[in-house]
Amino acid sequence: MKTSPMHGLRTVINIVPDLDKAKAWYAKAFGTEPYFDEPFYVGFNIGGYELGLIPEEGEPKPRGENVMTYWGVDDVQQAFDRLISLGASSHEEPHNVGGELVVGAVKDPWGNVLGLIHNPDFKLPDRDIDAIH
């Protein structure tokens, strides 16, 4: 099998109107504090992947729904319900899309879409993510 020149997903960035409120919400939502916290960028390490927050500048822009980022979870319904309880709104109710594959999505309080997925067939490669250049 040929090795791809792409190493895989590294960072997803959400634009938010209030960085401090978003930082607090995401810390609760993902159960972790940011590893990088500056007025221009907040970064969270979520299972070896980065979720970044940047402050919105100028006029508010519409939030896109043409790209979906799915965060892996063991139980989509449980994660969905937890995010709703923290102030997210439903974007796509959890549902089975074949076999054991379940997806759902919420919108954070600022309109960014967070997808949730349980896919027991997808396993990350066994390698040190930090060692990849």
DSSP secondary structure letters along the chain:
-PPPS-----EEEEEES-HHHHHHHHHHHHTS--SEEETTEEEEEETTEEEEEEE--SS--PPP-SS--EEE-S-HHHHHHHHHHTT-EEEEEEEEEETTEEEEEEE-TTS-EEEEEE-TT----SS-GGG--
Digitized pLDDT (tens) for each residue of the chain, 133 residues in all: 677 777 777 899 999 999 999 999 999 999 999 999 999 999 999 988 999 999 998 887 777 666 788 999 999 999 999 999 999 999 999 999 999 999 999 999 999 999 999 998 877 666 454 433 3
CATH of domain 67-133: 3.10.180.10
> What are 91's two structure tokens?
């974007």
Q: Assign residue 57 a region (left: φ > 0; alpha: ψ between -120 and 50; beta: otherwise).
A: beta
CATH of domain 10-57: 3.10.180.10
pTM for this model (two decimals): 0.80
Question: CATH 3.10.180.10 region(s) of the chain?
Answer: 10-57, 67-133
Question: What type of residue sits at position 19?
Answer: L
